[in-house]
Amino acid sequence: MTTPRPFGRALCAMITPFTATGDLDLPAAQKLAARLMSEGCDGLVLNGTTGESPTTSDAEKTALVRAVREAVGATAHVVAGVGSSDTRHTVELAQAAEEAGADGLLVVTPYYSRPPQPALEAHFRRVADATGVPLMLYDIPGRTGTRIEPETMLRLADHPRIAAVKDCAYDLLGSTKVISRTELAYYSGCEEMNLPLYAVGGAGCVSTVANAAPRQVRAVLDAYDKGDTAEATRLNQLLFPLTELMMASGLPGTVTAKALVDAGPVREPLQPAGREASDGLRAAYEELLRA
C-alpha cells in the first residue's frame, strides 16, 4: 500500500516573523520561507500554533499566505491554518486563505466549547464543502479539550477534500487504525512521534524543530525511506537533544524556535526565552551541526 502524501513529507510549522515593534514582517517571512524550502522542506504550514495564530489578525493571516506563496512559487506546498472556535469564522478564514494562494488548509478542532463528535464532524464537513482545496484536520486535544475520535476520522475520510491529519493525539493505536482503513495522510505534529508514526504508515511530519534544523528533520525520513532503519534511528537520536529543549523544556515551541531563528519577538502573552534557555538551545543546535 502506497502512503498518500498530498503535501509532501517534511513540512515546517513556520514561525511568523515580526518587526522589533511587533508588526508583521512580510519580507522576513518571505526570506525565511525560501530558506526553509531550499534546506529540505517539502512544504510550509502557516498560521498554526507555532505561527502564533491566536495573536495575529485575519488580515495578517491572509497577507502572510499571499507573501509566502509569492516567495516559494507554485511548486511548494503551502498549508494555511484557518481553524477557530466558530464554524462561520473558520469558513471565512478558509476562503480567504484559498484566495490568497494556499493549496491546503489546516483546520483545528473547535476549542473551548468542546463540541460532541457529531458536531465536530458537521464542522469539518462544513469547511470542506465551502472550499476547493484539501483539508488537513488538526487533532490536538491537549490544547482544544476535544479529541477527534478514530471513528469520527473514519467517517470524515469519505469526504473528497478531507485529505490529511496533523496528529497530536498521542494515540499511536488509534492513528494506526485510521491509517490502515483509509487514505488519510497522517502527519506527526509531535516531534517525538515523527519516526514512530512514519513507521506505521504516516505521511511525514509538520515540525516546529524544522524552523531551526530542516535538513536534519528531513534526513530521518530520508533514511527510513531508503530502508536504513538503523540510520534513521541514529539520526533521530542525534536530533533528540535539540528536540527535547525546543519542545519539552516548559517553553512553547514558538518561543524556542524564535530563540534560534532571527524572526523578531513573540507576541504577548508569550515572552521571549531567557538567557539561560537561549544559551542551552544554541549549544544543542551547534552540537547537532557538528554531529
Q: Is 166 a catalytic residue?
A: yes
Q: Does 3.20.20.70 match the CATH number of domain 10-213?
A: yes
Question: Tell me, what's the pLDDT at 4?
Answer: 87
Question: Tell me, what's the pLDDT at 173?
Answer: 98
Please give the model's pTM, rounded to 2 decimal places: 0.97
Say which residue the cell 477527534 belongs to.
Answer: 148
| CA distances for 258 relative to 167, 179, 194, 209, 246, angstroms | 23, 33, 21, 11, 10
pLDDT digits (tens, 9 = 90+) for 133-174: 999 999 999 999 999 999 999 999 999 999 999 999 999 999
Say which residue the cell 517553553 belongs to.
Answer: 251
pLDDT digits (tens, 9 = 90+) for 34-48: 999 999 999 999 999
The residue from 31, 61, 112, 166 that is catalytic is 166
Q: Is 138 a catalytic residue?
A: yes
What whole-number distance in Å separates Cα of residue 227 and Cα of residue 270? 41
pLDDT digits (tens, 9 = 90+) for 193-241: 999 999 999 999 999 999 999 999 999 999 999 999 999 999 999 999 9
Buried b (16+ CB within 10 A) or exposed e, 138-155: bbbbeebebbbbbebbeb
Reported as a pLDDT band with limits 50, 70 and 90, residue 75 is: confident
Percent of the chain at pLDDT > 70 equals: 100
Cis peptide before 141 (omega within 30 of 0): no
In the chain, domain spans: 10-213
- Is residue 287 predicted with pLDDT exceeding 90? yes
The residue from 138, 186, 187, 224 that is catalytic is 138
Helix pair angle (87-100, 58-72), 10° resolution: 30
Percent of the chain at pLDDT > 90 equals: 98
